[in-house]
């Protein structure tokens, strides 16, 4: 029997979501759906359901560092992503550990700067934003802020597509790294994302799905991009495939009824249409 081809490996550094729709759980589901073996360094635990964050507890920065260290020494990691990092101390630990392994691991880093939950709950301490800008953003192959996160980084709201184009250009100029600015919070018929890289802007559109109260779309999107990079796709190809994948997870969402009769939605990380070819 012929040996199986080597499966690409990706590492996610993020928080654990008890409802399994976002965070580490969403990342692993996405990696698996796209043919990538997922490793995890857990930064903390979030007790939540879609629309409600009940409690957040971070793990120690030392534990985050130890998880990363043993994995980076052992596996042929082809791409890395970060999600919720909680605090400046953890952001610094992640950056320092990646730098310590830079000669061994040259995997591209996708940063999803998770700051606010879909429910509106703040998830990131103020000191972490400065640590992102000083220590982690310079290591990135891509940063994937949504409009709220971009507004926090720039200090002003982003209300329409022209403002979104201006904000993306300013972010790339400020940080000197590629930026995928996600416009899912804009009004309109389409969910529009803009990729700013190499002095160009590439637009990605998909029909906007209304009336679906899911969470974890940002985690899933960035994980799908990371899976693409781990599999050898170019950055634009990885984003294009990831956009199709996350659109399918929303359109084919799962639904249950709670004890009170309310609808409970979750992304479907095994959609029948995963986006196809890039």
Q: Which one from 214, 220, 247, 249 is the annotated catalytic residue?
A: 214
Identify which of 14, 36, 30 has the alpha carbon closest to the alpha carbon of residue 233.
36
Question: Is residue 218 flagged as an active site residue?
Answer: yes
Task: Mark whether 81 is an active-site residue.
Answer: no
> Which one is catalytic: 88, 184, 218, 228?
218
Respond yes or no: is residue 258 known to be catalytic: no
How, if at all, do strands 37-49 and 9-17 pair? parallel
Asked if residues 50 and 118 have their Cβ atoms less than 8 Å apart, the reply is yes
> Among the options 219, 228, 244, 275, which is catalytic?
219
Give the chain's radius of gyration (CA, Å).
Answer: 18
Euclidean distance between CA atoms 58 and 94, whole angstroms: 14
**How many Cβ atoms from other residues are within 10 Å of residue 18's Cβ?**
15
Pick the catalytic residue from 118, 172, 217, 226. 217
Q: Catalytic residue at 32?
A: no
> Out of 29, 81, 182, 243, which one is annotated catalytic?
182
Q: What is the DSSP letter of 22?
A: S
Go through 227-241 and write b for each residue having 16 or more CB atoms within 10 A of its CB, e for each that does not: bbbbbebebbbbbbb
Q: Is 182 a catalytic residue?
A: yes
**Catalytic residue chosen out of the listed positions 83, 88, 184, 216:** 216
Asked if 214 is an active-site residue, the reply is yes
Residue 157, helix vs strand vs coil: coil
Catalytic residues: 182, 214, 216-219
């Amino acid at each position: 029997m012929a040996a199986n081809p080597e499966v690409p490996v990706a590492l996610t550094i993020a928080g654990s979501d008890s409802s399994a729709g976002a965070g580490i759980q969403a990342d692993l589901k996405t990696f698996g759906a796209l043919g990538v073996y997922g490793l995890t360094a857990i930064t903390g635990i979030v007790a939540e359901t879609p629309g409600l964050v009940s409690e957040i507890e971070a793990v120690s920065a030392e534990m985050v560092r130890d998880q990363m260290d043993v994995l980076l020494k052992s596996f042929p990691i082809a791409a890395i992503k970060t999600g919720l990092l909680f605090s400046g101390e953890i952001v610094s630990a992640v950056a320092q550990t990646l730098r310590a392994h830079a000669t061994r691991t040259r995997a591209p880093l996708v940063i999803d700067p998770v700051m606010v939950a879909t429910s509106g709950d703040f998830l990131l301490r103020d000191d972490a934003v400065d640590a992102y800008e000083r220590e982690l953003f310079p290591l990135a192959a891509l940063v994937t802020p949504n409009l709220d996160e971009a507004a926090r980084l720039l200090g002003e709201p982003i209300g329409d597509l022209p403002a979104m184009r201006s904000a993306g250009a300013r972010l790339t100029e400020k940080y000197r790294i590629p930026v995928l600015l996600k416009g899912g919070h804009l009004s309109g018929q389409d969910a529009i994302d803009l990729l700013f890289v190499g002095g160009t802007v590439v637009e990605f559109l998909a029909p906007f799905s209304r009336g679906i109260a899911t969470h974890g779309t940002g985690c899933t999107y960035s994980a799908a991009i990371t899976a693409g990079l781990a599999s050898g796709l170019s950055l634009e190809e990885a984003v294009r495939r990831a956009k199709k994948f996350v659109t399918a997870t929303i359109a084919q969402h799962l639904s249950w009824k709670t004890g009170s009769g309310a609808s409970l939605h979750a992304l479907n990380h095994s959609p029948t249409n995963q986006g196809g070819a890039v």
